Structure 1
């Protein structure tokens, strides 16, 4: 794990799924001086959009106000929460750990709140060892997108009855994982995904010119230097928004008469929720 000395104003922020573990959650936080910890507590049926974070609830002093299902936690999960809170500011977030887009969205939203991808933001670390495999994938992808440091924690011993005790015990080693930069959708692309989502909810179709007019009213960046010609605006929409989204399988185009209808795919809908926090960025 990166142990270089942080700036005076910089905090070490950790994200860790609150899975069937205790030591692998708590000990890396203690050893590496975590200042703020976000525990991702499993909530498969949670209310709210996937990837959304209620920071006001997470900051609540009373755990009962965090929207985490406290009755669904084991005694050792409660202990992990309490033990980490003895030396760090712990905030628990309900997350569907079996939904990679929810884990991805929540982690990138936390990163955005702490400015983790900016020069003067906090330093973000993420534990990929303490939840189900899907959660590990979501956390790891989020780290690639925001440039955070993922780490893996090797246990000293393994157990098997997670109803009776944690899955593992002790910490033999904490291992840094490689970082591979990954592009997230741009703010304009997320905005267009949101427009398509809203239109779909209203059972309305959307063509390219509808998106251009909507984007012009909202001064989206991809149109600012496109010029006044209709052809140039179509070209800007295709180059900067639709082509990348279509290549990734987030939208589909259907020829209807003389226009193209743009449709949001299920993957695109989930990606929108994972990255909708970008619309709040200035």
Structure 2
């Protein structure tokens, strides 16, 4: 793990899935001076959009007001929460840990909240060892996107009766994971995915000109230098938005008369939830 000393104003913010662990969550946080810790508590049936975060509820002093179902937590998971509170600010969030897009979206939203990657932002770290494998993938992908530091924690011993004890005990060492750049959708592309999502929710179709008119009203960047001609606007939409989204399988086109109807795919819907933090509305 990166142990370099942060600046005076810089905080160390950690994200850790609250899985069947104790020491692998708590010990690295204590050793490396965590200031703020987001615990991702599993909530398989949570009533919220993927990636949605209620930061106000997460910071509540009373655990029952955090939207996390504390009755579902094992005693050792509650102990994790209490142990971290002795040296850091704890913010617990309900997350569907088996949904990679929910984990990804929540983690990137946390990163955006703390300005991770910005010169004046906080330093963000994420533990990929303490939840199910799907959660690890979501956290690791989020770190690649926002430039945060993922880390893995190797246990000293293993246990397997999860109803009575954590899966592992002790910490052998903490290992940095490699960072790889990820080609995330642009803010304009996320905005268009959101437009398609909202229109589909209202059972409305959307063609290219509808997207252009909507984008003009919101002054999206891809139209700013497109010129006034209709052809130039179509070209800008194709080049900067629809082309990349089609290539990645996030949208599909349907030939309807003289125009193309644009549809959001299931993958595109999930990507929208994962990256909606780019729109600045969370």
TM-score for the superposition, normalised by structure 1: 0.99
Is 1:184 the counterpart of 2:146? The answer is: no
3-state SS of paired residue (1:244): helix
Deviation sequence 1:42-80 (CA, Å, 0-9, x none): 001001111000001001110100000100000000001
Residue matched to 2:193: 193
Deviation sequence 1:76-95 (CA, Å, 0-9, x none): 00001100110000100000
Is 1:126 the counterpart of 2:126? The answer is: yes
**Post-superposition offset of 1:41:** 0.1
In structure 1, C-alpha distance between the alignment counterparts of 2:99 and 2:187, rounded to whole Å = 23
Residue matched to 1:96: 96
3-state SS of paired residue (2:15): strand
**Post-superposition offset of 1:257:** 1.2
In structure 2, C-alpha distance between the alignment counterparts of 1:227 and 1:195, rounded to whole Å = 23
**Post-superposition offset of 1:183:** 2.2
Deviation sequence 1:227-269 (CA, Å, 0-9, x none): 0111110110011111111111110111111111100001111
Residue matched to 1:26: 26
3-state SS of paired residue (2:234): helix
In structure 2, C-alpha distance between the alignment counterparts of 1:183 and 1:40, rounded to whole Å = 25
Deviation sequence 1:116-167 (CA, Å, 0-9, x none): 0211100000000000000000000000000000000000000111111000
Residue matched to 1:267: 267
**Post-superposition offset of 1:112:** 0.2
The 1:138/1:120 distance shift into structure 2, 3 A limit, reads same
Residue matched to 1:247: 247
> CA RMSD for the aligned pairs?
1.0
3-state SS of paired residue (2:214): helix
Q: Which runs of 5+ in 2 are unaligned?
A: none
In structure 2, C-alpha distance between the alignment counterparts of 1:162 and 1:220, rounded to whole Å = 50
**Post-superposition offset of 1:186:** 1.0
Deviation sequence 1:184-207 (CA, Å, 0-9, x none): 211111110111011101111100
Which structure 1 residue ranges, 4+ long, deviate > 6 Å from structure 2? none
In structure 2, C-alpha distance between the alignment counterparts of 1:64 and 1:249, rounded to whole Å = 40
**Post-superposition offset of 1:281:** 6.7
Q: Which runs of 5+ in 1 are unaligned?
A: none
In structure 2, C-alpha distance between the alignment counterparts of 1:19 and 1:147, rounded to whole Å = 24
1:51-70 matches, within 5 Å, as: 51-70=51-70
Is 1:171 the counterpart of 2:194? The answer is: no
In structure 1, C-alpha distance between the alignment counterparts of 2:204 and 2:47, rounded to whole Å = 25
In structure 2, C-alpha distance between the alignment counterparts of 1:183 and 1:161, rounded to whole Å = 41
Aligned residues: 282
In structure 2, C-alpha distance between the alignment counterparts of 1:202 and 1:121, rounded to whole Å = 38
3-state SS of paired residue (1:166): coil
In structure 2, C-alpha distance between the alignment counterparts of 1:80 and 1:57, rounded to whole Å = 19
In structure 2, C-alpha distance between the alignment counterparts of 1:152 and 1:273, rounded to whole Å = 26
In structure 1, C-alpha distance between the alignment counterparts of 2:266 and 2:39, rounded to whole Å = 28
1:230-241 matches, within 5 Å, as: 230-241=230-241
Residue matched to 1:277: 277
TM-score for the superposition, normalised by structure 2: 0.99
